[in-house]
Amino acid sequence: MINFNYETAFSLNNEEQLSEWILGVISEEKYQLEEVNYIFCDDAYLHKLNVEFLNHDTLTDIISFDYSVGKRIQGDIFISIERVADNAKDFNVTLQDELQRVMVHGVLHYCGYKDKTDKDAKLMREKENHYLSQLA
């Protein structure tokens, strides 16, 4: 089950399409969906989580808490709509495109992909682009 939760004045207008897409990503990666909760929030909300749980006093666009066991995906993905909007402007893409990239990025972490090294980040970006092309 994929759930969408809103802690700010924002809402998706295509939840069903995005749910099917994310489920397809998980399936193609040979994982099974238990439950993924997307929580859309503002910078202040996500900053508080970043300080409290990760000891990082910085703004970020996404924080994911992975509760997966083996190949069964479960977790909470917090996304700051403010950060995503700013990043979309910086990268000269639409808010929708950047939001979808961040959404799939979180799920790909649950599927074992990392992005701390240049090599890992390159593979992550390739995977993001692959799955984003399926949504278009």
Q: Any idea where the domains of the chain sit in the sequence?
A: 2-135
Sign of the torsion angle spanned by Cα atoms 34, 107, 41, 19: negative
What is the full per-residue pLDDT of the chain (136 aa) written as tens digits? 999 999 999 999 999 999 999 999 999 999 999 999 999 999 999 999 989 888 888 888 999 999 999 999 999 999 999 999 999 999 999 999 999 999 999 999 999 999 989 999 999 999 999 999 998 6
Q: Which CATH class is domain 2-135?
A: alpha beta
Please check if 47 is assigned to a binding site: no
Please check if 109 is assigned to a binding site: yes
Please state the pTM of the whole predicted model: 0.92
Please check if 115 is assigned to a binding site: yes
